[in-house]
Structure 1
């Protein structure tokens, strides 16, 4: 039986994000696969990316835990519907957030604004700006661009000052890693949405946020469509 919480909008957001997580892992040579309503990798995934992502609210811990590495510290699970309890396996809640959805934005004529990064050098500069410390840690690799990811960059005075990742799939465009080094979040969201409308006309936008970032997204036409929870197991 399909859980009423698995609405089409929520399912699209979850599947788009799982595909993005898989793309990042593959770019690092880390394998992942979907089985039993769970995307999971048996090896530790790159920093900030989960070892498993649930694709159904009906998934149980027994469908997740045997498929990830519990022997070394740092196992993490993206509980996409907020339905799991992994505390009995030594996990703690790292954070809770809300999936968000926005209907397609009508393109308003004007300056081009944010533009896609086109090469490895541009991607390294983008990651250095996103990291906040001016360093590129090789988390985002050029093969992601070949895989369909678009790293949007707002530039000025010869440097990147804002940006986001846009990843198309499951009938939507997923936005993640939105940042604004100089501009506020409102300016960043306006620029991001204008760019997605230009690149993917007529396609809805999804993602997930929490705290002040969620509040900012809601100001720009997003609506929450479901909860999510990220679990972390510090010990092996």
Structure 2
């Protein structure tokens, strides 16, 4: 099966985000040539395993088997290239999405979103993210992330609240855009997020993955789809 090399680049960038998040929370992980593997129970909304390279099904299944044994059959994984057939092992598709890519050097509007640089503003950013995007009681974004030179938070602050925001994570050959949220989600908000992220390194492409209406917003902001992925989950994986 042919896979667009841009989708592989995006998957590796996503694993870099995972590495930053796992490290910030003191969670063990392993970077293999074909997968990012969490050795501890992952954070909410994060998978146990993310596929990084196509056509390594035997090695990936071996890793999933180890994870299933460790966590009593409860496994979540990012099938980054829709190549795994795991239905017989108890996996269902949680949702599908598409990898997105925006070439470097594309002209962008000026962004009104500002960098998040203090612990207090990061706490406000997370409150806004939880109100508009993802509900969890766990503190997800720690102050350690502000000290990394490859992680960036942007937000639109009004009236003491962050009403819109996004995360960028920089890899060697691209910048990832993720966790875009806004009180009134729109293509304009996604364009503002894109412009903020593009300013970090205008000579690098921007990558990520989106689904549903957010994917349409990404397309409106100049992104192309370069491959499909899906999140697979099992409550009692068996091999």
Confirm or deny a common fold (TM above 0.5): yes
Q: Return 5+ residue gaps in structure 2 as ranges.
A: none
Deviation string 1:23-62 (CA, Å, 9 cap, x unpaired) is 1112111111122511102221111011101111112142
Equivalent residue for 1:125? 124
Following superposition, the deviation at residue 122 of structure 1 comes to 1.3
CA distance in 1, matches of 2:125, 2:138: 11
3-state DSSP of counterpart to 1:11? helix
CA distance in 2, matches of 1:85, 1:170: 32
Residues 72 and 144 of structure 1: CA distance in aligned 2, closer, same or farther (over 3 Å): farther
3-state DSSP of counterpart to 2:93? strand
Equivalent residue for 1:116? 115
Residue pairs, 1:173-212, within 5 angstroms: 173-182=175-184, 184-212=185-213
Instruction: Name which of 25, 29, 54 aligns with 2:51.
Output: 54
Range with greater deviation from structure 2 (119-128 or 101-110): 101-110
Equivalenced residues, count: 231
Equivalent residue for 1:92? 92
Deviation string 1:143-183 (CA, Å, 9 cap, x unpaired) is 1222321111012223211001100104111011100113x
Deviation string 1:199-228 (CA, Å, 9 cap, x unpaired) is 222221110011111111111111110110
CA distance in 2, matches of 1:94, 1:135: 18
Equivalent residue for 1:157? 159
Residues 160 and 46 of structure 1: CA distance in aligned 2, closer, same or farther (over 3 Å): same
Residue pairs, 1:1-236, within 5 angstroms: 4-5=2-3, 7-60=4-57, 61-70=60-69, 71-72=71-72, 74-106=74-106, 110=110, 113-132=112-131, 137-147=138-148, 148-182=150-184, 184-235=185-236
Contact 1:15 1:170 in 2 (8 A): no
Q: CA RMSD in A?
A: 2.1
Residues 135 and 66 of structure 1: CA distance in aligned 2, closer, same or farther (over 3 Å): closer
Q: Return 5+ residue gaps in structure 1 as ranges.
A: none
TM-score of the superposition, structure 1-length normalised? 0.89
Residues 201 and 136 of structure 1: CA distance in aligned 2, closer, same or farther (over 3 Å): farther
Following superposition, the deviation at residue 81 of structure 1 comes to 0.6
3-state DSSP of counterpart to 1:132? helix
